Structure 1
Amino acid sequence: MKEIKEIGDVEKHYEVLNMFGEGGQGDLFVGRDRSSGQKVALKLQKARDLGPDSVFRSAGEHLRTEGKRMMGLTGIQAIPEVIAMGTHRRRQCLVMEFIEGRQLQNVLLAALPVKDAGTVAAIIGQLCEILAEVHDRNLVHCDLKSENVIVQPDGRLRLIDMGHAVVEGEETDWARGTRGWASPEQSDACPAGRLTRRADIYGLGCILLEMTVMRLPYGGQDERAEEGTPVLPADRLAALPPGFASLALRMVRWEAAERPADVREVFDQLRCYLPQLGSRRPSKPLSPDPTEYYRTHQPRL
């Protein structure tokens, strides 16, 4: 695996500009290469609070681990490239490719629920193509949600934030993901062998439900999901588009073994709804329009 480039003090190489995103694992800034003028994204460890120094050091090591995981995905075009690792005012910092585009959650806000089947299929289909490459490298993303998907101006999707990712099947010692989108098996420490790619299929199913009926399963973010809770309220269940209802409900089954085996199986169920090569745009396209990808490219799965 390619080694991450160590650059020491980030400010010697990159100008740190405006903050544009915030998460539990770090803050995102726009940066500029002082030599080339190239725009980059900087993921910066959270500033130290009043807690012990050991907690701050551990958070820095976690960010470094994320960088190494992302290096293991080098060559997957949909995953941002890691350029270097350094420090900025004692905080660990990842220097990454800057992606032009909008978060999927913001693209969807103007159009929920998404009624065009081709648009729904184009979004989930592209994510299946990306995840197939991630899973083929034995990693599980563990934090699939519309906030972590960027829609580029040409409609191509990119997947960001590997801060919760794990090697498939490895033991985990803390909960991973975001409440509402995280699978039941991610809610606590997970024994070796139990956290598989089916956790990502659950997150993908959550995005599908979010788009079509504007609800997350098992109560969403309101409270921790409990087994036996209805998947959706009756009115939202009735609103599921017939073409996607069976697939969506299988993807978010409580037991991982009852979900589709992999994203290729999900993609095959969506194939008949994908926009055809050379077809017209939807009558009310999203902006940017994710269908453009399949209207100009053959599916890769």
Structure 2
Amino acid sequence: MAVREIEEVGDVGRRYEVLDMVGDGGQGDLFLGRDRNSGQKVALKLQKARDLGPESDFHWAGDELLKEGSRMMMLTGIQAIPEVIATGTHRRRRCLVMEFVEGHQLQKVLSAALPVKDPGTVAAVIGQLCEILAEVHDRNLVHCDLKPENVIVQPDGRLRLIDMGHAVVADQETEYAHGTRGWASPEQSDACPSGLTRQADIFALGCILLEMTVMRLPYGGQDERAEEGTPVLPADRLAKLPPEFASLALWMVRWKAAERPADVREVFDRLRCYLPQLGSQRPSKPLRPDPTEYYRTHQPRL
């Protein structure tokens, strides 16, 4: 599949109005923008402003942002991945202009609802992410930073996956750590000569499943870098794992990548019987927005 090149627009401010900052991360700052001609909202991801480090570090960060745009172009046509519109510069900072996604971060949607008790809701979130990751993995990419902060729940319950800043080509050597502690698989914590595989994303997906059901990340979560042999969960949390998902969740977060499910389709097959049925009623206590709406109005794609 031919990958089109990203349009270079030069000074982003000439074409787009830069509005409020709406998020920040390790790879860049996210702003709301507006097309000066059409009035259309866009998302603007700017590299971090230069700090006290050398100019070479600043240029490297700009190049890394452009590489992120190139990886996103490899995913063109996947509806759940925001489209890259253009690239340019804003006040010396490299910038990606992207489709603006209406909705709320999954992190915020879940914050008032944990632990999630309804099996259909849990299956709807993990199932939609399986559908998205299947397409990403079919393009030979590994996202490497799957976490609730990087998932948007649209008003109609559809999930979108954002932030390809850590994504890598599968099975290609990595020279440094990728991802966010707590959700990153053990093999992501250092350079990986043999390359990362789709099982890294399956680990992160298992982390989200544990987070939703027992409000705890595996192997100590974000508190410290885990070592092999660390218990997956404290005994009290392990006992609270819902029986519908206990064996699946623990399988997904196995320490060794080869011991996890080989593919997100395997995960989806284990969830299938818990997915909301087409035309069924919403849960008694739905998330807002409600991810079950997707399966209540659409057939599964896997």
**If the length of structure 2 is used for normalisation, what is the TM-score?**
0.99
Q: Look up the match of 1:172.
A: 174
Q: Say which SS state the counterpart of residue 64 (structure 2) adopts.
A: helix
Are 1:220 and 2:196 matched, yes or no? Answer: no
Q: Look up the match of 2:162.
A: 160
**Counterparts of 2:14 and 2:251, CA distance in 1:** 51
Are 1:254 and 2:255 matched, yes or no? Answer: yes
**Counterparts of 1:136 and 1:195, CA distance in 2:** 15
Q: Look up the match of 1:294.
A: 295
**Counterparts of 2:220 and 2:277, CA distance in 1:** 36
1:128-186 CA-to-partner distances (Å, cap 9, x unmatched) read 00000000000000000000000000000000000000000000001000000000000
Runs of 5+ in structure 1 lacking a partner?
A: none
**Counterparts of 2:91 and 2:122, CA distance in 1:** 43
Q: 1:51 aligns with which of 44, 50, 53?
A: 53
1:78-133 CA-to-partner distances (Å, cap 9, x unmatched) read 00000000000010000000000000000001100000000000000000000000
Question: Equivalences for 1:222-241 in 2 at 5 Å?
Answer: 222-241=223-242
Offset at 1:275?
Answer: 0.1
**If the length of structure 1 is used for normalisation, what is the TM-score?**
0.99
Q: Say which SS state the counterpart of residue 244 (structure 2) adopts.
A: helix
Q: Look up the match of 1:87.
A: 89
**Counterparts of 1:250 and 1:57, CA distance in 2:** 41
**Counterparts of 2:209 and 2:80, CA distance in 1:** 19
Q: Look up the match of 2:7.
A: 5
RMSD over aligned CA atoms reads 0.4
Q: Say which SS state the counterpart of residue 242 (structure 1) adopts.
A: coil
Identity %: 84
Question: Equivalences for 1:110-121 in 2 at 5 Å?
Answer: 110-121=112-123
Q: Which amino acid aligns with 1:255?
A: K
**Counterparts of 2:179 and 2:78, CA distance in 1:** 22
**Counterparts of 1:73 and 1:17, CA distance in 2:** 27
Q: Which amino acid aligns with 2:156?
A: D
Q: Look up the match of 2:142.
A: 140
Would you say how many aligned residue pairs link Structure 1 and Structure 2? 300
**Counterparts of 1:35 and 1:72, CA distance in 2:** 28
Q: Which amino acid aligns with 2:185?
A: S
Offset at 1:225?
Answer: 1.2
